Amino acid sequence: MVMEATRRMSFSPNPLSLTIEAKPPTALSAQLVAVFSLLTINPFSNLAADDFSGDTRTWTTSFFCDSDSYSFPSTSHEARNRVHENVKRFARNYATLFILFFTYELFEMPLALLGFVTSYAFWELFKFCVDRWESNRHPLIRKILIRVALCATVSFLAFLNVQIAVFYALAISYAVVILHGGFRNLSLSEKQS
């Protein structure tokens, strides 16, 4: 009964053709489609290096604002525009959140934190030694040393599961970017541009 109320099936003489007519989507389902469409976009595609050069927007008045600054996007196009504009506007805030999440994950995984700090110290020592040995005279040897040190560092960090901390920080940051960017309204000046 419910199926008949929402869909009408019409059969044609050709047994291979079946036509299904569905009711138009409701407002709630359109909003859900718009929100789920956010999972299919790359929010960083329109981002440029200049977006990181400006001042960081304030967290309380600009980034979070009040509850009137947030709403469900009505269409998937509006959701995409919101995400792209908000990523450009809050790029430095999102980068700060990524650093905070990554630091938190490193503190949750002491071996990964130890490996990260050790690799940083190793590269500083390596830079000091390369400068002291004046390896600029022998660029081929310098390139070989850098490649060997890079492979050793990647192996060391992978052994200590630093990539897990990076993955968690990226996943949480991406979710924050999509949710904040998709639900935060654009001001009138942004909608006109």
Structure confidence at residue 143 (pLDDT): 87
Structure confidence at residue 73 (pLDDT): 79
> Are the CB atoms for 180 and 90 separated by under 8 Å?
yes
**Whole-angstrom distance, CA of residue 97 vs CA of residue 170:** 10
**Whole-angstrom distance, CA of residue 61 vs CA of residue 38:** 25
Q: Residues with Cβ < 8 Å from 23, sequence gap 6 or more?
A: 6, 7
Structure confidence at residue 52 (pLDDT): 79
Structure confidence at residue 66 (pLDDT): 72
For the stretch 11-43, pLDDT in tens is: 445 444 444 444 455 666 666 666 666 666 777
Structure confidence at residue 101 (pLDDT): 95
Q: Residues with Cβ < 8 Å from 88, sequence gap 6 or more?
A: 46, 47, 51
At 24, is the secondary structure helix, strand, or coil?
coil
Q: Residues with Cβ < 8 Å from 98, sequence gap 6 or more?
A: 169, 170, 173
**Whole-angstrom distance, CA of residue 71 vs CA of residue 163:** 35
**Whole-angstrom distance, CA of residue 118 vs CA of residue 115:** 5
Q: Where are the domains of the chain?
A: 27-183
Helices (H), the chain: 2-6, 27-36, 76-89, 91-108, 110-133, 139-159, 162-183, 188-192
Q: Which of 157, 189, 184, 171 is nearest to 65 (CA)?
A: 184
Give pLDDT < 50 ranges for the chain: 1-12, 14-23, 188-193
Longest dimension (CA), the chain: 86
